[in-house]
């Protein structure tokens, strides 16, 4: 028990440092969007931006979210990846994460993808290309556009509100087992969501 407790101060410092970095990037992303350096594109306008506006969709969600629902032919580079480290700090974080978040949402413990920008540069070497950056709720993509802008990408769009605010007709070519707006849900919350959807269908039929 003492050994575990000794890890807590270090764990707290790591979490605070990581959170500060993410908040800083998110703040810069918000400013880029506010000034128009990054174009905010609502889900209802995304299809037009992709079809006629010259944008390519960059999905930065973790693989387990994308596997549930994804836009056909979209690019994929995750901003956060599963934390597979087996050290004592990670094991402690995983136990806390599962108890407070994982059981309800089904989300795995993630860590920042340190090679995010490099992987995007491999997939999209032309930094003049138009990229519409998207995630589930719009927060992670706000961090991503900040990093991409700092990395030299200037023709960026941000999917305002993320896929969670999209409707069925916003992205006509969707692959996967569910709708884009429900792909973030998992675990017990996903089961609860499916029950609610089933009740809605039964209510319409009755």
Residues whose CB is less than 8 angstroms from the CB of residue 24 and which lie 6 or more positions away in sequence, other chains included: none
| CA dist., res. 54 & res. 81, Å (int) | 29
If you count them, how many residues does the chain have? 206
Angle at 21 between CA 18 and CA 22, to 5 degrees: 85
DSSP 134-171: E-SSSHHHHHHHHHHHHTT--SEEEETT-GGG--TTTS
At 75, give phi and psi (nearest 5°).
-80, 155
Pairing label, strands 174-176, 69-71:
antiparallel
| CA dist., res. 78 & res. 93, Å (int) | 21
Is 135 one of the annotated active-site residues of the chain? yes
* Catalytic entry in 41, 49, 71, 135: 135
Residues marked active site are found at 135
């Amino acid at each position: 028990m003492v050994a575990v407790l000794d890890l807590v101060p270090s764990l707290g410092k790591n979490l605070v440092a990581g959170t500060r970095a993410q908040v800083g990037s998110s703040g810069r992303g918000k400013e880029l969007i506010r000034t128009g350096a990054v174009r905010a594109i609502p889900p209802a306008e995304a299809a037009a931006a992709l079809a006629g506006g010259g944008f390519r969709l960059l999905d930065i969600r973790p693989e387990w979210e994308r596997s549930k629902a994804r836009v056909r032919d979209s690019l994929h580079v995750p901003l956060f990846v599963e934390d597979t480290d087996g050290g004592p700090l990670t094991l402690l974080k995983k136990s806390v994460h599962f108890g407070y978040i994982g059981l309800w949402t089904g989300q795995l413990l993630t860590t920042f993808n340190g090679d995010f920008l490099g992987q995007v540069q491999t997939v999209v070497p032309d930094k003049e290309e138009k990229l519409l950056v998207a995630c589930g709720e719009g927060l992670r993509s706000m961090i991503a556009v900040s990093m991409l802008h700092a990395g030299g990408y200037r023709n960026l769009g941000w999917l305002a509100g993320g896929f969670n605010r999209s409707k069925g007709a916003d992205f006509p070519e969707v692959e996967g087992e569910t709708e884009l707006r429900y792909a973030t849900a998992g675990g017990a919350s996903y089961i609860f969501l499916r029950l609610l959807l089933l009740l809605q269908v039964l209510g319409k039929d009755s």
